[in-house]
């Protein structure tokens, strides 16, 4: 069967991202029965690899659905009517979490900043001091739609000092930031394979602290017998090596391949590669006379680079032109940020000078095609000069 649309030459979007040939190859292996001893061994190995990627000894649960599943599962497993949840909002995903908080009967207390800014830990401290009955805190680590990061280490420290449990969306943080669930008091941390890990979409990677497990057990009644239940995974996989339901076998193969590639490179080096390519990307963007979306260099994320829409250029026209004329797929603004910025992706294998050079070259040419005064090569040149030696 052929598709009417030409497929892109390069997918440099905000996730799902292109995966390596190794991931694709592993995903084509025969599908094992999930109680085949080989699959049990493989699933256990993948959970162990996830622990190493997160740099944690906390329990790991692989929920069998896109990361939104685990974000909702954390809410459903923890929140009860009457609970107050401090919801930190620096972008679309932070804002959206209030929906799960209210859906499970809890009360969101919102602390919001403009969507090109990051949460100020001082304000978190003040909010927890002002309302000592706050029980939970939810925060997005890497706000992919805003291309910014929040200081979750400082936030976690403050939460812990107030006896508040944290739910951290680090879906695009894993792989682009060095994590420390124990050190940073991340009680439930959620990542996805389809962002900086360069894996397939379709799984939630969750780490759970002992305190979070206890809170789930204290929930009245504890959430069990549900696709959203983290306790079901603990009582089956973590204690008995059985499954509450059939895992997405091929996707687990793909995740294993992506994790092995990350760990062979080394978690520190893998993260540093994302950080260094993002830095170079920002220098390239600035050299083109464009404005970075993030208010400050220190809060610019390493998963994607957000660029404010230049005057006179329409977001859909620019992205459409890059995709149709040059076969390069990038991402736009999302939700209430639609039309205000575009995002250059550098996750997984795209966190590489070759992808960065191609992306900036096509961006420059596309802007020139659309009548923007740019000097061809200026962005690529600046980015290549900015690359770490």
Ligand X SMILES: *Cc1c(COP(=O)(O)O)cnc(C)c1O
Residue 345 within binding range of ligand X, rule CB under 6 A: no
Q: What angle do the packed helices 37-54 and 249-265 form, to 10 degrees?
A: 40
CB of 103 to ligand X, least distance (A): 16
- For residues 259 and 252, the answer to whether their CB atoms sit within 8 Å is no
Distance, C-alpha 299 to centroid of its chain:
15
Question: Under the criterion CB under 6 A, does residue 67 sit at the interface with ligand X?
Answer: yes
**DSSP letter at 347?**
-
**25 or 103: CB nearest ligand X:** 103
- Report if residue 89 touches ligand X, rule: CB under 6 A: no
What is the closest distance, in whole angstroms, from the C-beta atom of residue 94 to ligand X in the complex?
8
**Residue 119 CA to chain centroid, in angstroms?**
17
Choices 43-51, 140-148, 159-167, 346-354 (CB under 6 A): range interacting with ligand X: 140-148
CB of 239 to ligand X, least distance (A): 28
* Residue 65 binds ligand X (CB under 6 A): no
Does the protein bind ligand X through residue 153 (CB under 6 A)? Answer: no
Residue 93 is a binding residue for ligand X (CB under 6 A): yes
Q: How far is the CB of 66 from ligand X (least distance, A)?
A: 5
Q: Between residues 142 and 366, which has the closer beta carbon with respect to ligand X?
A: 142
Given candidates 15, 244, 332, 379, which one binds ligand X under the rule CB under 6 A?
Answer: 15
The interface mask with ligand X, positions 194-233, x = CB under 6 A, is -x--------------------------------------
Q: At how many degrees (to 10) do helices 353-369 and 267-287 cross?
A: 20
| Nearest to ligand X of 127, 304 (CB atom) | 304
3-state SS class at 50: helix
Q: Does 66 bind ligand X (CB under 6 A)?
A: yes
Segment 119-127 long-range contacts (CB within 8 Å, at least 24 positions apart): 119/88, 119/90, 119/150, 119/151, 119/155, 121/151, 121/154, 121/155, 121/158, 124/86, 124/88, 124/155, 124/158, 124/159, 125/158, 127/86
**Min separation Cβ 169 and ligand X, Å:** 5
Please identify, using beta-carbon distances, which residue of 15 and 348 lies nearer to ligand X: 15
| Residue 214 beta carbon to ligand X: minimum distance, rounded to whole angstroms | 26
Residue with tokens 């997005």: 140
Residue of the chain from 56, 116, 144, 359 that contacts ligand X (CB under 6 A): 144
193 sits near ligand X (criterion: CB under 6 A): no
Peptide bond between residue 16 and the one before it cis (omega within 30 degrees of 0) = yes
Please give the Cα distance from 83 to 136 (Å, whole number).
8
**Torsion from C-alpha of 143, 364, 388, 22, nearest 10 degrees:** 70
Return left, alpha or beta for 382; rule: phi > 0 is left, psi -120 to 50 is alpha, else beta. alpha
User: Which of residues 26 and 143 has its CB atom nearest to ligand X in the complex?
Assistant: 143
Please answer whether residues 332 and 14 qualify as being in contact, where contact means their C-beta atoms are separated by less than 8 angstroms. Answer: no
User: Is 140 near ligand X (CB under 6 A)?
Assistant: yes
Given the complex with ligand X, which of 171 and 216 has the nearer CB atom?
171
Residue with tokens 């789930």: 216
Nearer to ligand X, 140 or 258 (CB): 140
Beta pairing class for 341-345 and 331-332: antiparallel
Only one of the segments 125-133, 136-144, 212-220, 354-362 lies at the binding site for ligand X (rule: CB under 6 A); that segment is 136-144
Considering the complex, state which of residue 64 and residue 144 has its C-beta at the smaller distance from ligand X: 144
Q: Tell me whether residue 168 or residue 290 sits nearer to ligand X (CB atom).
A: 168
171 binds ligand X (CB under 6 A): yes
Q: Which is nearer to ligand X, 330 or 358 (CB)?
A: 330
Pairing of strands 204-208, 148-149: unpaired
Closest by Cα among 122, 231, 203, 215 to 164: 215
The residues of the shown chain that bind ligand X, judged by CB under 6 A, are 15, 66-68, 93, 140, 142-144, 169, 171-172, 192, 195
């Amino acid at each position: 069967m052929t598709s009417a649309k030409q497929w892109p030459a390069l997918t440099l979007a905000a996730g799902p991202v292109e995966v390596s040939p190794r991931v694709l190859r592993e995903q084509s292996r025969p599908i094992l029965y999930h109680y085949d001893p080989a699959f049990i061994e493989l699933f256990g190995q993948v959970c162990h690899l996830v622990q190493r990627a997160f740099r944690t000894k906390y329990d790991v649960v692989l929920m069998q659905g896109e990361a939104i599943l685990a974000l909702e599962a954390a809410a459903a497993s923890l929140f009860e009517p009457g609970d107050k949840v401090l919801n930190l909002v620096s972008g679309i995903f932070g804002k959206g979490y209030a929906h799960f908080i209210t859906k499970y009967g809890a009360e969101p207390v919102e602390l919001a900043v403009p969507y090109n800014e990051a949460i100020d830990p001082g304000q978190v401290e003040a909010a927890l001091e002002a309302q000592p009955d706050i029980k939970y805190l939810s925060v997005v680590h890497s706000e992919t739609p805003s291309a910014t990061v929040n200081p979750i280490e400082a936030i976690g420290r403050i939460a812990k000092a107030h006896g508040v449990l944290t739910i951290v969306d680090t879906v695009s943080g894993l792989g682009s930031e060095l994590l420390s669930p124990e050190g940073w008091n991340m009680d439930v941390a959620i990542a996805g394979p389809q962002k900086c890990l360069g894996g397939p979409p379709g799984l939630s990677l969750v780490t759970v602290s002992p305190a979070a497990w206890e809170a789930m057990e204290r929930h009245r009644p504890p959430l069990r017998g549900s696709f959203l239940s983290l306790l079901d995974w603990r009582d089956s996989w973590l204690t008995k090596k059985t499954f509450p339901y059939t895992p997405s076998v091929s996707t687990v193969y793909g995740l294993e391949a992506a994790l092995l590639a990350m760990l062979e490179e080394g978690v520190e080096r893998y993260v540093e590669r994302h950080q260094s390519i993002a830095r170079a990307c920002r220098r390239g963007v600035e050299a083109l006379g464009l404005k970075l979306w993030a208010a400050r260099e220190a809060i610019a994320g390493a998963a994607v680079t957000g660029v404010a829409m230049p005057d006179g250029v329409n977001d859909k026209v620019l992205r459409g032109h890059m995709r149709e004329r040059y076969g390069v797929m990038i991402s736009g603004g999302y939700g209430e940020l639609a039309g205000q910025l575009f995002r250059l992706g550098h996750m997984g294998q795209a966190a590489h000078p070759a992808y960065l050079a191609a992306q900036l070259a096509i961006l420059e040419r596309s802007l020139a095609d659309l009548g923007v005064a740019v000097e061809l090569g200026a962005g690529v040149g600046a980015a290549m000069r900015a690359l770490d030696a």
